[in-house]
Amino acid sequence: MTHDAVLLDFENAEVRSSDFDSLRPEGWLTGEIINFYWTYLERLEFLTSPSVLFLGTYTAYRIANAETAAVTDSISTQLSEELGPRRHLILIPLNHRSHWSLLVYCRLTRTFYHYDSISKHNRVFAERAAGRFLRVLEPKLKDGFYFKSVHTPQQNNDYDCGVYVLAIAEELARRYVNHFTRKSSANSAGNRGRHATCGFPRESVSISTGTSTISSSSAVPGARALASDLLMPRFGTYSFSGFRSPFTSKPGSSGLLSSEPAVLRGGGGSGSGGGDGGRSREDRLKLESDMMERAGLPRDFWLVTVEDIEYPHCMRRRIRALVLDLQKQKRFLPTRRI
């Protein structure tokens, strides 16, 4: 029997041989690879951006498949510090029936945005799961939330879904951070394309092909992020095949439901599903526009095109090189003496 050796242990995120192999062409990404890359982004790329959180796959699975409100309430209490109000953008990997998609929660707009590289494969699952995530992320919120299915670059095979999740999440995280750090310069920017107009120049959101150098002093305490899943068991031992019944919905004061979303359609959104409070299409578009304006975000902020993200085969190759580079660096790190 072949031993599935640990190739890299990076900030509690383990990469085994089988995980590394999933980065090969036509490989289906494992949850551990997603956790590893989440951890890398949080600890080295977005270390100074506490407003962005990459939720680990195991934690996301526990919440999305929670059977009762008591489960989500317990998780919310356990992780209250990590999931507190300072986290404005939460990136959530969803897996349903062996397909990865990305759920993004923005506190500024009180909206879940869903990105699915196979049309609407995970749409219903994502809508219902959003109600569970709301109970964890916003335990005191009584007025419900909004859900928007965003037009997403589509894969042309049956194995790149996980890569699209990583690429889109990284693009949105960089875009979000760059937008708010460069907002003052955005006001004076000319009409030089969609990204320049939005305040995130093309060069500021391009994917870095280099790897950051780690040192013994750069380690961050494990409690800082959830990408490494707080030393939870390996994700591969859990099944994605089932989905439990949604919680009982309770109307909020605004007419929205606490566990069933209002769907924002138009402007990059999609069709039916969920409640809409009886609003007309024009009302929904105006509501969305008003929310984005109050949040200080441009109208097309959440739109991600093929040109915005890294090609899947390039990203696979880059992450493989990253694993090998970090593995090599860790071999030569000085040992701390106590």
- CATH number (domain holding residue 92): 3.40.395.10
Q: How many CA atoms lie within 13 A of 103 on its CB side?
A: 31
Tokens 């309430």 sit at which residue?
73
Please report whether residue 103 resides in a domain: yes
**Domain count across the chain:** 1
Please report whether residue 337 resides in a domain: no
Q: Which domain holds residue 282?
A: 6-330
Q: Confirm if 32 and 235 have CB atoms less than 8 A apart.
A: yes
Please report whether residue 1 resides in a domain: no
Residues 6+ apart with CB under 8 A from 286: none
Please report whether residue 246 resides in a domain: yes
Of 225, 257, 229, 244, the C-alpha closest to 135 is 257
Tokens 């003052």 sit at which residue?
184
Mean pLDDT value across residues 213-221: 35
What does the DSSP 8-state code read for residue 297? -
Please report whether residue 338 resides in a domain: no
Please report whether residue 336 resides in a domain: no
> Per-residue pLDDT tens for 161-177?
999 999 999 999 999 99
**What percentage of the chain exceeds 70 in pLDDT?**
69
Q: Confirm if 112 and 104 have CB atoms less than 8 A apart.
A: yes
Helix residue ranges, H only, 187-266 = 194-198, 202-205
Query: Per the structure block, which two tokens stand in for 252?
Result: 């909020």
pLDDT grade for 330, boundaries at 50, 70 and 90: confident
Please report whether residue 250 resides in a domain: yes
Of residues 100 and 234, which shows the higher confidence score?
100
Please report whether residue 44 resides in a domain: yes
Q: Confirm if 147 and 262 have CB atoms less than 8 A apart.
A: yes
CA distance 96 to 161: 11
Is the pLDDT score of 288 beyond 50? yes
